[in-house]
Amino acid sequence: MKREFLFVRFANKETGVSEVIDEFLEFTEDDHSREIASRTRNNLPEISLFLRDFRNALADIIENGISQRFINYVDSYMKPSLTEYVEGSGTSRTGEERWIVLKEEDTPWVEAIVCYNLMLYIRTYGLKELKLCPVCQKFFTNKGKYAKYCTEACKIQGKT
């Protein structure tokens, strides 16, 4: 089975702050960002309110699509925290390379990385395959646009 995206694992409480930082450290090549992430790793921020709001935002875009309110929500984390760089042909997204650099340590950059991961997902796949299981309330992708349940067990329980 394919591993879920970072934002899905985070929303489902399968990935915490330290795992978000570790995943970022695994891929970043920027020394400034690496220093910030390493220091933050030793003093993890409390983001339980963000988790609650993020789950609500995901449920809202699944139900209603992307709104200006949602864009403002993710921008409120991403704009003060991240700078995105894009390298490519300029004519299409094929062969495009994207990376982010953290601006400052005292920004909500962990939350911004989760939002950025969601925005990359939406840009690549759209919203058709992002779902919320009506039985267990977990978010999921990778099951096809007609899937309703995240697992066979939830499907059986949902049909009884």
Q: What is the pTM of this model?
A: 0.92
Write the pLDDT tens digit of every residue in 74-108.
Answer: 999 999 999 999 988 666 666 788 999 999 999 99
Question: Exposed, middle or buried by CB within 10 Å (0-12, 13-18, 19+), for 33?
Answer: buried
Query: For residue 106, which amino acid is it?
Result: D
Continuous H helices in the chain = 6-11, 17-27, 31-41, 48-64, 68-81, 109-125, 152-158
Crossing angle for the helix pair 68-81 and 48-64, to the nearest 10 degrees: 140
In 3D space, the residue among 45, 42, 47, 67 whose CA is nearest the CA of residue 57 turns out to be: 67
Write the pLDDT tens digit of every residue in 10-30.
Answer: 999 999 999 999 999 999 999
Write the pLDDT tens digit of every residue in 44-57.
Answer: 999 999 999 999 99
